Chain A
């Protein structure tokens, strides 16, 4: 066994630990921003397709022209509507309250 192996392994462990910590911190830092983006995307589609939800909508041709590019946002709206009845836990999740 190479006498340097334990040292190398320790170094690799520290490296991956630091990388995981870095990712964790980075993800934690953007958690709230990601929540905000989801809310904004949700609002964007709700405004654009107000006629689905019964609120005043923009002229239908604006919605129709943008519709093909909004697959991701429409998925967000769908998911958001599933959790709409439990807004408190959604909010707690965003603010990392457990």
Chain B
């Protein structure tokens, strides 16, 4: 299974290009899923069909899906509310458990929801040859892509401290035989400690996503237009990807016209500079007005991902 992420500034055409890419891959016989993780979905508009939050079949090999970020967020919130209510079960006696529902409004839940969908898709949808992701504009995409890495760093640090705590508790237990404090049974073994177990679980989850993002089977493509505004934003994407050690595989200079050749040359030179040789660069001509905002494009987008 190969994955392709289309990133770029809002309005450069990453949704249409990702749609074109998915369609062309499907036409070539590859079983392809086009999944939008942009909260403002427009896959349905591009294919002029109704696309649900579940996968829907568009043609023999092409499946479309607009991820339900609200649902992913509420599933996550509900899970935590359930655990909290279970641990603090006495709150039910006063009907206070309903107050935990305020967690729904925690900041960062949207990024978490996107990450959850990404993780579940990578784990479950292995029977596709290609999964093409249509992503939200730069800022949010970079935050989503950074999340596994940030989480791993944090969890690593927390695990190290937890390990020290458990080792010291073990020493105390060995010398005094004591294993509880004020009625709390204090775990001293990693296998016994719920916190360590949870940290390990979170760590494994994000390592899997990070490995998949960094792996050979993943491609990240940046879409830009021959203008300086999209150039500056694309440079920020490249810097962000560099910081995360995520490889850029392709760059699409979209909506290209011959009259913009000088600007296009300069934008490509500035954007890719020394990296130019490693990245597949393609100029995608501006499509005629009647075919704009659809998946139909004569330009072969899939060339970059072979």
Contact = CB atoms under 8 A, between A and B. Distances in A.
B165 A62 contact: no
Contact of B158 (A29, A47, A71): A47
Interface stretch (B16-24, B35-43, B146-154): B146-154
A88 B254 CA distance: 66
A26 B175 contact: yes
Contacts of A21: none
A87 B85 CA distance: 36
Interface in B151-188: 151, 154-155, 157-158, 161-162, 164-165, 168-169, 171-172, 175-176, 181-182, 184, 186
Contacts of B83: 68
Nearest to A67: B84
A89 interface: no
* Majority SS at the chain A contact face: helix
B112 interface: yes
A39 to B, nearest CB: 10
Given A37-B168, A71-B87, A59 B112 contact: yes
Interface string B103-141: 100111101100000000000000000000000000000
Interface string B70-92: 00000010001001101100000
Interface stretch (B59-67, B194-202, B231-239, B277-285): B194-202
A52 to B, nearest CB: 14
A64 interface: yes
A66 B151 CA distance: 13
Contact of B195 (A26, A59, A69, A75): A69
A27 B126 CA distance: 56
Interface string A48-72: 1000000000111110111111111
Given A64-B80, A65-B202, A48 B158 contact: yes
B176 A26 contact: yes
Nearest to B193: A69
A83 interface: no
Nearest to A31: B172
Q: Which 10 A-B pairs have the closest CB atoms?
A: A58-B154, A69-B194, A68-B87, A72-B184, A37-B168, A68-B83, A61-B112, A30-B172, A40-B165, A26-B176
Interface of B: 76, 80, 83-84, 86-87, 103, 106-109, 111-112, 147, 150-151, 154-155, 157-158, 161-162, 164-165, 168-169, 171-172, 175-176, 181-182, 184, 186, 194-195, 198-199, 202
Given A59-B147, A66-B199, 8 more contacts: A37-B165, A43-B161, A47-B158, A48-B158, A58-B150, A66-B195, A71-B87, A72-B182
